[in-house]
Amino acid sequence: MNEQELGILSEIARQIRIMIIQMIGRSASGHPGGSLSAVEILTWLYFREMNVDPQNPALPGRDRFVLSKGHAAPVLYATLAQRGFFPAELLLTLRQADSRLQGHPHRLDTPGVEASTGSLGQGLSMAAGMALGLRLSQNPARVYALIGDGESQEGQIWEAAMTAGFRQLAGLCVFLDYNDLQIDGRVSDIKDIRPLREKWESFRWRVHEIDGHDFGEIAAALTEFRRENEKPTLIVARTVKGKGVSFMENNVNFHGQAPNAQEVATALAELNHGR
Amino acid sequence: MAVESLRGAYGKTLLKLGRENPDLVVLDADLAKSTQTQFFAKEFAGRFIDMGLSEQDMISTAAGIALTGKTVFASSFCVFLVGRVFDQIRQSVCYNRANVKLVGTHAGLGVGEDGATHQSLEDIALARVLPEIRVIVPADAVETALAVEYAAATPGPFFIRLTRNNLQTFFDSGHQFVMGRAPLLRDGSDLTLVAMGAMVEKAMQAAEILAAVGISAAVINFSSLKPMDEEILLRFAGKTGRILTIEDHSVHGGLGSACAEFLSQQHPVRMKIMGMDNQFGRSGKPDDLYAHFKLTAADIAAAGKEMLSRP
Catalytic (active site) residue B231: no
Our CA-based measurement puts residue B13 at a distance from the nearest CA of chain A, in whole angstroms, of 22
Our CA-based measurement puts residue A52 at a distance from the nearest CA of chain B, in whole angstroms, of 15
Domains by residue range for chain A, with CATH: 3-273 (3.40.50.970)
Are A212 and A178 in contact by the 8 Å Cβ rule? The answer is yes
Among B68, B91, B96, beta carbon nearest to A137: B68
Catalogue the E-assigned strands of B98-199.
100-105, 134-136, 158-161, 167-168, 184-186, 191-195
From chain B, which residues contact A within 8 Å (Cβ)?
23, 25, 46-47, 49, 51-52, 54, 56-57, 59-70, 87-88, 90-92, 95-97
From chain A, which residues contact B within 8 Å (Cβ)?
60, 66, 106-108, 114-119, 121-123, 125-134, 136-137, 139, 155-156, 159-160, 162-163, 167
Cβ within 8 Å of residue A198, ≥6 positions away: none
CB pair distance less than 8 Å for A159 and B54:
yes
Q: Collect all residues of chain A within an 8 Å Cβ-Cβ radius of residue B61.
A: 125-126, 128-129, 132, 160, 163
Determine if the peptide bond prior to B311 is cis (ω within 30°): no
What mean pLDDT comes out for the span A135-139? 98
pLDDT for res B173: 87
d(CA B110, CA A151): 38
Longest dimension (CA), chain A: 52
Q: Is A219 exposed, middle or buried (0-12, 13-18, 19+ CB in 10 A)?
A: middle
pLDDT for res A243: 96
pLDDT for res B1: 67
User: Does the interface predicted TM-score (ipTM) exceed 0.90?
Assistant: yes
The tens place of each residue's pLDDT in chain B, 311 residues long, gives: 699 999 999 999 999 999 999 999 999 999 999 999 999 999 999 999 999 999 999 999 999 999 999 999 999 999 999 999 999 999 999 999 999 999 999 999 999 999 999 999 999 999 999 999 999 999 999 999 999 999 999 999 999 999 999 999 999 989 999 999 999 999 999 999 999 999 999 999 999 999 999 999 999 999 999 999 999 999 999 999 999 999 999 999 999 999 999 999 999 999 999 999 999 999 999 999 999 999 999 999 999 999 999 87
Are A51 and A84 in contact by the 8 Å Cβ rule? The answer is no
Closest CA to A271 of A89, A33, A36, A24: A36
Our CA-based measurement puts residue B261 at a distance from the nearest CA of chain A, in whole angstroms, of 29
Give the tens place of pLDDT for each residue, A92-104. 999 999 999 999 9
Q: How many angstroms separate the first and last alpha carbons of chain A?
A: 19
d(CA A74, CA A53): 20
Are B174 and B291 in contact by the 8 Å Cβ rule? The answer is no
Are B31 and B118 in contact by the 8 Å Cβ rule? The answer is no
* Residue A1: pLDDT over 90: no
Among B65, B68, B91, beta carbon nearest to A118: B91
* Backbone φ, ψ for residue B33 (5° rounding): -75, -25
**What percent of chain A stands above pLDDT 70?**
99
Among A106, A125, A130, beta carbon nearest to B68: A130
Residue A131's SS3 state is helix
pLDDT for res A275: 55
Residue A52's SS3 state is coil
CB pair distance less than 8 Å for A122 and B67:
no
What is the enclosing helix (H) or strand (E) of A143? strand A143-148
* Domain spans of chain B, in order of start: 3-168, 184-309
Model pTM? Answer: 0.97
Give the tens place of pLDDT for each residue, A49-84. 999 999 999 999 999 999 999 999 999 999 999 999
CB pair distance less than 8 Å for A122 and B91:
yes
CA of B27: which chain A residue's CA is closest?
A129
Same fold, B3-168 and B184-309: yes
A273 band by pLDDT with thresholds 50, 70 and 90: confident
CB pair distance less than 8 Å for A126 and B60:
yes
d(CA B262, CA B144): 26
Catalytic residue chosen out of the listed positions B4, B20, B43, B55: B55
What mean pLDDT comes out for the span A207-231? 98
pLDDT for res B140: 97
Our CA-based measurement puts residue A216 at a distance from the nearest CA of chain B, in whole angstroms, of 31
- Cα separations in angstroms, A53 against A11, A13, A23, A29, B37: 21, 20, 24, 30, 38
A33 band by pLDDT with thresholds 50, 70 and 90: very high
Are A68 and A124 in contact by the 8 Å Cβ rule? The answer is yes
- What type of residue sits at position B16? K
What is the enclosing helix (H) or strand (E) of A147? strand A143-148
Query: CATH for B3-168?
Result: 3.40.50.970
Our CA-based measurement puts residue B136 at a distance from the nearest CA of chain A, in whole angstroms, of 25
The domain B184-309 is placed in CATH, from the list 3.40.630.30, 3.40.50.920, 3.40.640.10, 3.30.420.40, at 3.40.50.920
A274 band by pLDDT with thresholds 50, 70 and 90: low
CB pair distance less than 8 Å for A116 and B95:
yes
Give the tens place of pLDDT for each residue, B61-111. 999 999 999 999 999 999 999 999 999 999 999 999 999 999 999 999 999
d(CA A275, CA B75): 55
A86 band by pLDDT with thresholds 50, 70 and 90: very high
